[in-house]
Amino acid sequence: MRLIHSFGHAFAGIGYSLKTQANLRIHLVAAIAVAVAGWLLQISTVEWAILVVTIMIVMSAELFNTAIEAVVDRVGAEPHPFSKIAKDTAAGAVLIGAIGSVIVGLLIFGPRLLALIGTR
């Protein structure tokens, strides 16, 4: 029963973040676009695995960012240097994951897209 409640809390957190965080929705749309591109370009199983891990890293980072922002806001609404560090660092983690995902996407899709363009 505790396990079921744990999943419920996890899904509630994901749901909250999807409702309130535009960046998470953007990442979700990008992930769907990547999945469609992967299907259309018939990427390999290993490439799928790399993409799935990459997507999960970005989505997880965004969820951690949301959690950190909520805790910092709960502790105090007034500006504080440590609050700024916490929020900026969490946002930086998301940015690093997003940049990495773009690089992975270019490595996996780039050659295929260039080959498609070259054949036209």
pLDDT per position as a tens digit, 50-103: 999 999 999 999 999 999 999 999 998 888 999 999 999 999 999 999 999 999
Question: What is the CA angle 88-7-33, rounded to 5?
Answer: 60
CATH of 2-118, picked from 1.10.287.3610, 3.90.180.10, 3.90.1070.10, 2.60.40.10, is 1.10.287.3610
Res 120 pLDDT > 70 = no
Taking Cα atoms as reference points, which of 47, 43, 44 lies closest to residue 104? Answer: 47
Res 47 pLDDT > 70 = yes
Pull the structure tokens for residue 104: 């992975």
By annotation, the residues acting in catalysis are: 62
pTM: 0.89
Domain ranges, ordered by start, for the chain? 2-118
